[in-house]
Structure 1
Amino acid sequence: MRLHGLTLTAFGPFGATQDVDFDALSSAGLFLLHGPTGAGKTSVLDAVCYGLYGAVPGARQSPGTSLRSDHAPAGLPTEVRLELTVGGRRLEITRRPAQPRPKKKGDGFTTEKAQSWLREYDPENGWQALSRSHQEIGEEITQLIGMSRDQFCQVVLLPQGDFARFLRADAEARGKLLGRLFDTRRFAAVEERLTELRRTAETQVKAGDEQTLAIAQRIAQAAGPAAGELPLPDAQPGEPGLSDGVLEWSAVARSGARERLDIAESVLAAAESRQAAARRELDVARELARLQQRYEETRRRATELEARRPDRDGHQARLERARKADRVAPALELRDEAERAYRAAGAARERTRAQLPDNLADAGAEQLAAMERRLRQELGGLDAARRAERRSAEIDTERAELERQARADDELILEAEGWLAGWESARRDLQERIESAQESATRAEQLAGRLEPARRQLEAARRRDALATETAAAADRLAAARERALGAHEKWLELRERRLRDIAAELAAQLVDGEACKVCGSGDHPQPARAGDGHVDKAAEETALDTYRRSEQIRTEADRELGVVREKYAAARAAARPAQARGAGAEGGGAARAAGAGADD
């Protein structure tokens, strides 16, 4: 706000008209109002306040007091005209308080009502009247300056000890006033954000201290007696100096443990040397014992074989006899068959003789033979020859089959002897193959038991990667929703401010000639306010408010969605960790879980 000029007429101690040119005073920068007591310094400030708000500060506005100068002529009205630039607009405010004036007809005085005028300077059209309503002018000035009369008096004028009263006010009252004056909402948001970051940092520091203490406990367990040389710091998580104390203690424990480790390594090296020597002696003794056992086993087997030699010789003799018998078996069978054939021929001869005629019943062999030859010749000698030939072929075939069987038996005997000779090595090979197969089966069962957890872990890892991408996308959506909500909120506030600035024009649009004004009650509307460029009506403001509420709802939904996705991602990441890692995490306790949660955030 910048003051340009002030005109006082019959105001306070000034009985005539006084002009104050603030442009000339402020051309050199600062200026000072000074003078003796009663010179009117405070009255100038009162006139500025009255021109802006239609009232003066402090008790000078109490009932029964008058702003009119006692030195002014009766026909000179009390008036204050203030010209200023505020909010980029050059305005002129003229105010007259309620005051007595001479009656136009007759003698005496009548009380004239308070009046106010507001004009704005247009570079093209000059001064333009805006309003004559006290309420409209007051709202317009309050909206442009951003302070009420009391706040303006406390912050700008500070007259008659009011500054001290402002300083003695509580922090809440001063905070509300200064926040309204300087629009500290952004700073409050920054303060709230910094407070949230501070709490988060405190939580992370406390979690880190807890993890540090847990690691120190594990160091103490691992260091053993070396950790007892210096006690652990008794500071609680979050207290200053805990990390330095733990580092100092761990350095001492590490030095003691390293010294004990060097001693143990020396003792271990000596013990390992003695163990290596004892192991070599043990290997020599075991090799000697093995050779002695093998020698005893060989002697025992030789004794057993020697004792079983008669049985083997008997079996060998039987085998030889069986082989010889097998060779002559076909001849014996042939002899038996020939005997059977001879007996059958004798029986057939007897049957044949029985069938011979009586004259040939006692015939000799020669006679029968001659008879036979003759009959053969008569019946034909070809059939007998064919039968003899067929029989001879059958005998040859049987003999060849018997020879083939004899050769097969010889090969079988040789194969059995070779198989018996390599039985021990074959048995060892088969035993080794059985053991290898058993080991393979055991290994296959173990791998089969580990396959399903590995598959579940792989599936969880895939879900984790997908949820990581989804988490990043949800975070981006939340950031975009926040930006849109913030933009919608700022736009709504801007439209609301513009509507309040032009509220006089909106109220003037509802005025009807002859009907009383809802604000001042007057039935005359000589100069109703007109809407300026960019006027915002109530529908536009409500539309902006609805847009802001929808944006805020979308932001809340995006925030909730991000929380759900983060929970799913944390569960998938925990499931995707190997069993060893999960075991280690469980051993770490709550500190590890707190650190992991901080890293996820």
Structure 2
Amino acid sequence: MRLHRLDITAFGPFGGSLTVDFDSLSAAGLFLLHGPTGAGKTSILDAVCYALYGSVPGARQNGQGTALRSDHAAPATRTGVTLELTVAGRRLEVTRQPPWQRPKKRGTGTTLDKAQSRLREHDPVSRSWKDLSRSHQEIGEEITQLLGMSREQFCQVVLLPQGDFARFLRADAEARGKLLGRLFDTRRFADMEKRLAERRRAAESRVRDGDAELLADAHRMQQAAGGAMEPADLVPGEPGLAESVLSAAAVARSTAREQLTVARCRLAAAESAQTAADRSLDEARERDRLQRRFAEARQRAARLAERAEDRQEAQTRLDRSRKAETVAPALELRESADAEHRRAADAEADTRALLPPALRDAGAAGLAAAARRATEELGGLESARRAERRLTELLGERVALDRQERADDDALDESEAWLTGWEETRAGLQDRIESAQEAAARTGELAVQRDTAHKRLTAARLRDQLAEDTEDAAEQARAARERALEAKQHWLDLKEQRLAGIAAELAAGLTDGDPCAVCGATEHPAPARKVAGHVDREAEERALAAHQSAEEHRADQEGRLGAVREALAAAGAEAGDTPAAHLAREAEESERRYAQARGAASDLHPAREQLRQAEHEHERRVAAQREAAVRAAARAGHRERLDHEQDALEEELTQARGDADSVATRAAQLERHAAQFTDAADAARVADGTAQRLKEADGRLADAAFRAGFATPRAAAEALLDAAAHRALQDRLEAWQQEEAAVRAVLAEPGTAAAAQQPPAGLTVAQRTAEDADRRTREAASARDAAARRCAELDRLSARATASARRLAPLREEYDRVARLAGLTAGTSADNERRMRLESYVLAARLEQVAAAATARLHRMSSGRYTLVHSDDRTGRGRSGLGLHVVDAWTGRERDTATLSGGETFFASLALALGLADVVTDEAGGVRLDTLFIDEGFGSLDDQTLDEVLDVLDSLRERDRSVGIVSHVPDLRRRIHAQLEVVKGRSGSTLRQHGVT
């Protein structure tokens, strides 16, 4: 992959449009990207990553839309990045534009434009560009496939962030595993570990569930056996559980079958005894029933004889009632005629009481004639009644006209008052709109000022805090240097003392007859003796270890001091020398002005809405005035027509109502009189008719009573019975007859009479004997059924337990196999001596490749002193596989990479990053990386080491690579001629290229 050109517009600190010509920079092989802190050096790398993957590296990838846009850009300028590159032999151009809150083309405010992407390819034949895609997803997949790397791998391999690899050198195995896992995508091996662990847990769960189910069946069999089975004191997962349960079940089944045989024999004996007892009880019950039946029949015959007179009297009453039934129709007819006559006479009296005194004694014909005269007069008033109703309507219309006139007058007065202040209201609203528009224009400017003030305040507070941290770090670094010098001096003193007394230390190991290691003599007449305060090898080694520990602490403190000073310089460049309190007041004042302007601008929409509503109200009120004037002219003509019609109607009504208050009153009087006369005439005719019918009914009743044999109609009425009394009397007579026949039949039965001659039956004794036999039979049957159920339940549970044991056997075998594999891959098995996980094993192989590739460059950078080696040793109680050590050729010792000094850590991490780039490139399918960037870290190197590092980087050109160094170290500007300078200014950063053609 080779970069050719990068176009940046309104991106990060760059407010305008800039172009980076990577072709001219890469021609020298090694180029420098420099500039002051915060100018935007890293933003160039962010733009490259954003063009390729649509996001920026690391933590800066959050908030893509507004975070990427430059605060210095003009509102109408859209943020965009265009990168031209060659990858896999294809020349491509990628354009990315994040979401944009652009100003509206009409009106005020902003609108959101969606993110846009475009991918083009250069056709060497036609020498033109052709579009490939405008889809974010398609472009991302195409770039990832061509590069063979994800965004994380690209940021580690091409951008080479030195801070990450410095942490990688000092990290533990777990942290190294996370980084290598992201770069080499070993998730499938981690997924395999998780899958095996899940399968082990699932298999274990199935085995335990099977054992639990088997134990549950064992407890059920124990309950079913009723104590004939020993309780199972086993737990799920215990070996031999299935055999123990099945053996105990077999013993319980045998015992239950023996108990069933005994219960069946007892039931047969009880059933024989019950049959004999039931037979004796049936015979006793039958004799007792016949004897009681005969005695009851004798008692019923005696009661019938006592009630013979009542029976005769009832028969006589029934006969007289049957004769009186022939007179009943005449009686009913006479009662109906009498009731009808009384009702007609009462109605006639009521209607005559309402008549005038002169007509109360008149006959039906005279009353009918008076009703006809009143009806004729009523018909003549119908026209007058219509005129009276019309007059009422006229009065209502006049009232409505008066109400409408008052309403129009009120509306005209209100409209006139409102229209009087219209011009002043409209002018006031227009002034509000203009003021709000001016405030909205100021809001944007004040927002920029407010954000700038807050950024400077934050930087100033950080600057003050870092100033205190710098003093503390300097003090700690000074103390660490003093302690390191003291430890070194102490070690040298001890070493010198040991060398001075080395003869005594050698003499301590001499033995007569053995040759001396120095002179070779076998006799030792005067060996040297140890003096007081002699220093041995162990004391020297402890002093050396203390010296090395102090040196490491000194290097850490100096590195911390350098980092704090660098952060302080960056914060000082951002905040300047202005005190934080003064900046806080400026930020507070900017916030206050911005809030005032924003509050004033928020009144724009309400003011416009009020003006629109006021104009609409003005039009409505002017139209209402015109409509009211038209209605007033129409009311005047209508009122004049109503006056003429009212005069004519009043003259007509005066003649029609006579002495009455109104025509309606006169008509009501006539209607009432006509109705009264008609009702009285009808009532008189009805009363005459009912009197004649009553006289005829009396004659018919007297004739019917005489023919039935009664002296008077009253006697016939007294002998007559109603239906209920007649039916009750008939039922009593029939019941006496049936009772008499039933008694005679019972007394005539041969068996009943014979049983009455026998002695009383012993029913109680026979019943008690039968109950005892039935109880013993039920108990025996219950015992037999319980034994049968026990046998069936034990058979069912035993078969179920056997099936469970058969199903459980392959599950247990599977669990043993999966548990062994899961333990091996997870590093927890005893067979895995190094406790190395599967993913760690794969990453260890990758780390070994990276260490080998990095050593080739580290050996040259350190002048042959250092070599990186991979270690599988365990650290403490942790797991092994991802150890990384450095071999120091000067001491011949192997030590952890965390013990390297600041400068040593830099070129070691640089070598590691370059080696990792080679390995990841090969892992990604051999994609050629012709352009690399190295971000910072050169400030910790001395001149000689810096020359060696630059020689190694310059050697990358042998593989036709170009390397861009991102740094603000001044010495690099002398050594590297091709430069891209980022210049920071108040209106945004710009770019300058030096030393290129």
TM-score by length of 1: 0.30
Pick 1 or 2: higher relative contact order, CA cutoff 8 A, min separation 6. 2
TM-score by length of 2: 0.19
